[in-house]
Copies of this chain bind each other. A is one copy, B any other.
Amino acid sequence: MADNKDPGRLLAARGYKLTRQRKAILNVLTGNGQHLTAEEVHQQVQSQCPAVNLVTVYRNLNLMAELGVIGRVDFGDGRARFEARAEHHHHLLCLKCGRVVELNICPLDYVTEPVTEHRFRVIGHRFKVFGYCAECKYLMEDDTGGI
């Protein structure tokens, strides 16, 4: 469970203290949820580590995201979400049930030419697709869908 790539180890290896709070936050992210807001992490952390402050949750999520120990995602709803998986990947979101699917393909690979044409040095990119998952689209079959 605590292999060499365990986020906790990664933190410790960089000289950060492995506090009760940090362990609990990492447990929540790796164990349970997939893409949680700071608020959600805070709530879920409470059950295993009673009185952790929301500010501490924010500070640690930010720290770990900067260190690349966890991933930060923006679903465009005005709050940041965090996930255990830190490697580069993209998301497919269901607008109805909130389901999130991780995409393993990367669109940048297919559009490098049009991008390099502008002589940019590419540092990063974001891609997300939203729609209705198999189940939700079934339940909404008569709906035309818009956009």
Contacts and interface: CB of A to CB of B under 8 A. Distances in A.
A65 to B, nearest CB: 13
User: Taking the full assembly, how many copies of this chain does it contain?
Assistant: 2
B129 A108 contact: yes
A114 interface: yes
Chain A's interface size range is 35 or more
Interface string A119-145: 111111111111111100100000001
A107 interface: yes
A121 B131 contact: yes
A132 B121 contact: yes
A108 B145 CA distance: 18
24 contacts: A74-B74, A76-B126, A92-B115, A101-B118, A103-B111, A103-B114, A105-B111, A107-B127, A115-B129, A118-B133, A119-B133, A119-B137, A120-B133, A120-B134, A121-B145, A122-B129, A122-B130, A124-B130, A124-B131, A124-B147, A125-B127, A125-B128, A125-B130, A126-B127
Interface of A: 74, 76, 92, 94-95, 101, 103-105, 107-108, 110-111, 114-115, 118-134, 137, 145-147
